[in-house]
Chains A and B, each alone.
Chain A
Amino acid sequence: MTTLLIGVLGFFFVYAVYIAALTARCAHAPEEYLDGGSSLPPWCFMFAGTGIVIAGIGLYDHFLLLALYGLQYNHVAMGVVLAALAGVLVHKRLLLAARISGHRTLGNLLSAYYGSVTLRVLTLVLVLLFAVPFAGQSLSRLGAIIASATGDTIERAEAIWACAFFLFLAGVIGGWRGTIYAIGAQAVVLVTLIVFVGVGGAAGLGWTALVYGDVPAPEGILSEAIPGVMQYSAGIGKEETIGGLWTTTAVFSQALAFIGIVLSPAFTLLGMTTRPPAHYAFKQVWLTAGLATGVLLLAAPFIGAGVALAHSGPLREATVSYTGVLTALVDVDAMLAVGFVLMLAAALQIVVAFFAQSGASLFVIELLGRDLLPDLSPDGRRLTARVTLGVIYLTIALLAAYAPLLAEIGGGLALSLSVQLLPALIGLCWVRWISRSAVLAGLIFGILLVLFTEPLGLLVFESLFVDLPWGRWPLTIHSAGWGLAFNIAACLLASIFTARDAERGTRDRLHDVFLREHRQDLGGPAARGAKWSLILVWAFFALGPGAILGNRFFSDPMFSELTPALLLPSLWVWQILFWLLGVFIAWWLAYKAGMSVLNRPIVFRLQLEPERPSFEQGAPRWLEQFVRRVAPRQTS
């Protein structure tokens, strides 16, 4: 299997370099290296975007968690529908705002709209988190799976350096466009292989035991039921949960974290550099909400069951791994085993390549090219981007090979912090009364809550001061949920007092253009009410407390004395039903309400400029002088 695996992986690396070389030969301007000339074909956004969403939720861990928790963890796949709905809400307006104002990146756009340097710095911090620890975490797993599959013929560190080198080679040649082409191809491979491996394993290895409820589960874990709406647990590391971790609040708050993928600066760069009409609707409705969620809901549980069935010894979080399932697959068919490794490798490579490449582009556009080295020629900017890419890959390879724990701790923050941008983005796209102060106040609370419900904050605080009474994700609420709840509350509260602040004029100008030229017609009051109430009802039953009804609704219904014979676990049927309803809602909003359909040409017509200097009068003088030195700007 080792030779076959190396051959197949090598073939895919050669393809990435080949398509990168073709891209480099077609490029006409050096700037195209950074953003693909802002004319990526729509299929790139469709395929690559879908692949990034699937890979971004952490497919490697997804199967292991499915093996541990069964269908209660499978419920988090519904979060992909929520991510699609978030995309419907913001992506089209972001593209409009970017094209209308001439800004190419999320950081620059938010900074110009709210007149806040802090928001640009924050998005750069997010870019850094995604580009280094988050990508490093994936690279570390990539090395681990290759080492495991080859029986340590290729050691973990060797695999990490080899993969990092080839991904860097493709990225340094092809730039943003070449990388997205390669990711698009990997995404198709990923989805195809999830189905192929799922079906192949079910046919050849008896993974259909999932359907009959014959899959082993760890002691005390309810593998076919959600263990409650919420558990009053102090959090992971402090107190054990009963029946499993994935209560409805855990599922819903984890789903909020998935939104962080589509709101990340890297993903929005992909959206903004796609050529209009970007066909966002097709991607969001049919590919993300439909295909990606469907594949995760229907095929992934079989693979999770396969991991559990092939595991030898007691199934626990500390012991669960892919070693058993790889051995079982090799015994049946070497190509199926290669397909399994290739599927995981594709998901992990998508994360590494996408966030490293977007990190290099965003650092050059938002920081190096704008503030630190503003006089760089286009060729110089391309060179700077290539050097930055090299530095990023070197850092993530070092981190993955020698400090994987640091990558885990840092990478765990990325999605939860990314989703904290939601109020700022809703303000930019829809709600003009959300002010800069409100966004910043919300972000401060949100970030603090995320930090103190994730290992980084807990470890630092507890090692410096005293032990905290809570651990990771207290009350079975994911850090993204904690952060977002406080973020939104603080944002709304601050907006009451600052809705008509000094920057309102800038915000009004953009929203006036939206109203005048790209008005969103959601219908009359009844239609509008129907849309929003349907979403809320769906969210309540699909992801919220109502999902608990799914445990027995189709196996032991409370409304009938009959016992239905569905041949499937009740919770799984509930998940499939609400997935289909979720696709319908996404379709209604994206197509029928036109929230993701671009039907008018976009004209650049608005110079979004902050109406106040970057630093207020009260800012510390030394800080102001320092920033003015590194970021000279006209304030007249």
Chain B
Amino acid sequence: MENGTDEGSDAWGRLDRHALVMSIWLAIGFVAVALLARGLQAMEAIPVFGAFTVVITGFVAHVIINAVSHTHFSAREVALGLVAYALGLIGFLLALLLRSEPALALFVPLSIGLLVLAVVAIFYMVTHFGARGAFRAFDVISDFGPDEVRRRDTQG
């Protein structure tokens, strides 16, 4: 019974955090998309910078939520963030290749924005996990390489 209660409060805890994170990103997401659309439409740099600033604010708010609720980014959140970033990057590169007018006109703000986003994420990882930990997060080879297999074997 006690386990059931613990599981119940764990489930509520996860849902509480998820709802909070969603609350932040719903508002941030709308404003960021609106600013980006405005910037691309009018080919103005300020709304584009504004959009990236808003996304970084959302990221900082997410980190604060993690700190308050003693959690880390979940696997789904990391995956969603990476996919969104990759899509943005590919879209930007494709637009450059296709000589799209807004992408060319906004080359500097868009590249700075994407770069700063990456830097902020890396800064978070380095400060949170340390340099080695941050590197290990991307070190897929060792996860499946001979060292990991050996370690699994010795642990039985």
Contact = CB atoms under 8 A, between A and B. Distances in A.
Interface string B1-44: 00010001101100110111011101110110110011001000
Given A8-B30, A342-B30, A26 B23 contact: no
B22 A19 contact: yes
Given A188-B23, A335-B38, A26 B30 contact: no
A188 B30 contact: no
B24 A23 contact: no
B63 to A, nearest CB: 15
B24 A188 contact: yes
A530 interface: no
A41 interface: yes
Interface of A: 8, 12, 15, 19, 22-23, 26, 28, 37, 39, 41, 43-44, 47, 181, 184-185, 187-189, 191-193, 196, 333, 335-336, 338-339, 342
A23 B15 contact: yes
Given A192-B28, A193-B27, A335-B34, A19 B19 contact: yes
B75 to A, nearest CB: 17
Contacts of A23: 15
> Interface residues of B toward A: which range?
20 to 34
A39 B26 contact: no
A339 B33 CA distance: 11
Interface of B: 4, 8-9, 11-12, 15-16, 18-20, 22-24, 26-28, 30-31, 33-34, 37-38, 41
Say what secondary structure dominates the interface of chain B.
Answer: helix
Contacts of B22: 15, 19, 185
Contacts of A43: 16, 20
B37 A181 contact: no
Given A188-B24, A188-B26, A196-B31, A333 B38 contact: yes
Contacts of B26: 12, 15, 185, 188-189
Tell me which of B8, B30, B37 has the highest count of chain A C-beta atoms within 10 A of its own C-beta. B30
B12 A39 contact: yes
A12 B22 CA distance: 11
Given A23-B15, A28-B8, A181-B15, 19 more contacts: A22-B15, A22-B18, A22-B19, A26-B15, A181-B19, A184-B19, A184-B20, A188-B23, A188-B26, A188-B27, A189-B27, A191-B27, A193-B27, A193-B30, A333-B37, A333-B38, A335-B37, A338-B34, A339-B34
Contacts of A26: 8, 11-12, 15
A570 B16 CA distance: 44
Given A43-B16, A43-B20, A181-B19, A336 B28 contact: no
B84 to A, nearest CB: 16
Nearest to A342: B30
